[in-house]
Amino acid sequence: MEIFERIAKRNDKRTESEIQADVRQFILSAPLNLHEDDVTNVLLESQTGDRRRIDVEVGSTVIEVKRDLRKGKVKPDAVEQLAGYVELRMNQTGLRYVGVLTDGTEWLCYDLVEGKLREVSTITVEPTAVDMEKFTVWLEGVLATAQNIAPTARNIELRLGAGSSSYQLDRATMASLYEQFKDSPTVQMKRTLWSRLLTSALGTAFEDTDDLFIEHTLLVNTAEIIAHAVLGLPVQSLNPAALLAGEKFDESGIHGVVEADFFDWIVEIDGGDVFVRTLAKRLARFEWSKVEQDVLKVLYESVIGTETRQRLGEYYTPDWLADIVVQETVTEPLNSRVLDAACGSGTFLFHAIRRYIVAAEAKGMTVGQLIDGVTEHVIGMDLHPVAVTLARVTYLLAIGRHRLIDPDRGTIHIPVYLGDSLQWQEQNTDLWTAGNLVIQTDDKKDLFGNKLSFPDALVDDAARFDELVNEMAKKAATRKPKSAVPSMNAVFQRLAIPDRFKPTIEATFETMCQLHDEGRDHIWGYYIRNLARPLWLSRPKNRVDVLVGNPPWLAYRKMTSDMQTSFRNMSEDRGLWAGGELSTHQDLSGLFAVRACELYLKVNGRFGLVLPNAAIDREHYTGFRSGYYGDGSGNAAIAFEPSWDLRRIRPHFFPRAASVVFGMREEHTRETRQGEGTWAGREMPVKAEIWSGGLSEPNMPWMEASKTLSRESGQVKYVGQLTKSPYHQAFAQGATFTPRMVFVVEEQPASSLGLPTGRKAIISSRSVQEKKPWKDVPSITGVVETEFLRPFFTGDNAYPFRLGDAQMAVLPCQKSGMLNKSQFDLHPGLSQWWERAEAIWLEKRSSDRLTLTQRLDYQSSLSKQFPIPQLRLVYNRAGMHLMAAKVKNKRAVIANGLYWASMETEAEADYLCAVMNAPVTTELVRPFMSYGKDERDIHKHVWEVPIPKYDPAIALHNRLSELGKRAEEIAAVFPIDPNLHFAATRRHIRAHLEATSEGQEIDELVFELLG
Of 518 and 723, which is predicted with more confidence? 518
| Nearest partner of 716 among 682, 690, 683, judged by Cα | 690
The pLDDT assigned to 564 comes to 84
Q: What is the pLDDT of residues 723-778, one digit of tens each?
A: 678 999 999 999 999 999 999 999 998 877 778 888 999 999 998 888 889 988 99
Supply the pLDDT for residue 473. 78
d(CA 618, CA 276): 49
pLDDT at 431: 43
Is the per-residue pLDDT at 170 higher than 70? yes
Integer Cα distance of 918 and 194 in angstroms: 37
Q: What is the pLDDT of residues 615-641, one digit of tens each?
A: 998 888 989 999 988 766 666 789 999
Least confident of 30-44, 161-175, 960-974: 30-44
Q: Using alpha carbons, select from 878, 917, 922, 881 the residue that is nearest to residue 897.
A: 878
Peptide bond into 739 cis (omega under 30): yes
Mean pLDDT for the stretch of residues 362-385: 93
Three-class DSSP category at 415: coil
Return the half-sphere exposure (C-beta side, CA atoms, 13 A cut-off) of residue 523: 23
Average pLDDT in the 515-521 region?
67
Least confident residue range of 480-489, 701-710, 866-875: 480-489
* DSSP string of 919-930, one letter each residue: HHHHHHHGGGSP
Cα gap 991→1000, rounded to integer Å: 11
Average pLDDT, the chain: 84
Mean per-residue pLDDT, 650-670: 83
DSSP assignment of 97-165: -EEEEESSSEEEEEEEETTEEEEEEEEE--SSHHHHHHHHHHHHHHH----SB---HHHHHHHHSTTSH
Mean pLDDT, rounded, for 880-884: 93
- pLDDT band of 847, cuts 50, 70, 90: confident
Q: Is 598 helix (H, G, I), strand (E, B) or coil?
A: helix
**Strand pairing report for 759-764 and 744-747:** antiparallel
pLDDT above 70: percentage of residues in the chain: 88
Q: How far apart are CA 205 and CA 207, in angstroms?
A: 6
Peptide bond into 867 cis (omega under 30): yes
Q: Please check the confidence at residue 40 and state whether its pLDDT lies above 90.
A: no
| pLDDT value, residue 121 | 86
Rounded to whole angstroms, the Cα distance separating 168 from 173 reads 9
Q: What is the model's pLDDT at position 129?
A: 85
What ranges do the domains of the chain cover?
A: 1-147, 173-418, 427-538, 551-711, 792-819+849-1010
- Cα separation values, 380 from 143, 417, 645, Å: 37, 6, 26
CA max distance for the chain: 113
| CATH no. of 1-147 | 3.90.1570.30
User: Dihedral through CA 71, CA 74, CA 79, CA 83, nearest 10?
Assistant: -170
515 pLDDT exceeds 70?
yes
Residue 451 has pLDDT above 70, yes or no: no
For residues 480-488, average pLDDT:
88
Give the 3-state secondary structure of 854-897: HHHCHHHCCHHHCCCCCCEEEEECECCCCCEEEECCCCCEEECC
521 and 189 Cβ atoms separated by less than 8 Å: yes
> Band of the pLDDT at 51, cuts 50, 70, 90?
low
| Between residues 483 and 660, the one the model is more confident about | 660
291 compared with 71, residue with greater pLDDT: 71
pLDDT at 44: 47
Categorize the per-residue pLDDT at 9 as very low, low, confident or very high, splitting at 50, 70 and 90.
confident
pLDDT confidence of residue 932? 41
Does pLDDT of 274 surpass 60?
A: yes
pLDDT in the model for residue 735:
94
State the Cα torsion 497-501-507-511 to the nearest 10°.
-60
Beta bridge pairs of residue 149: 286
The answer to whether 153 touches 298, Cβ cutoff 8 Å, is yes
Determine the pLDDT at residue 679: 54
Rg of the chain on CA atoms, in Å:
33
Query: What pLDDT score was predicted for residue 552?
Result: 86
Mean pLDDT (whole number) for 399-415: 90
Q: Got the DSSP string for 334-401?
A: GG--EEETT-TTSHHHHHHHHHHHHHHHHTT--HHHHHHHHHHHEEEEES-HHHHHHHHHHHHHHH-H
pLDDT (mean) for 548-569: 84
User: Which of 791, 794, 782, 767 minimizes the C-alpha distance to 839?
Assistant: 782
What is the pLDDT confidence band of residue 611, given thresholds at 50, 70 and 90?
very high
455: pLDDT strictly greater than 60: yes
pLDDT at 672 over 50: no
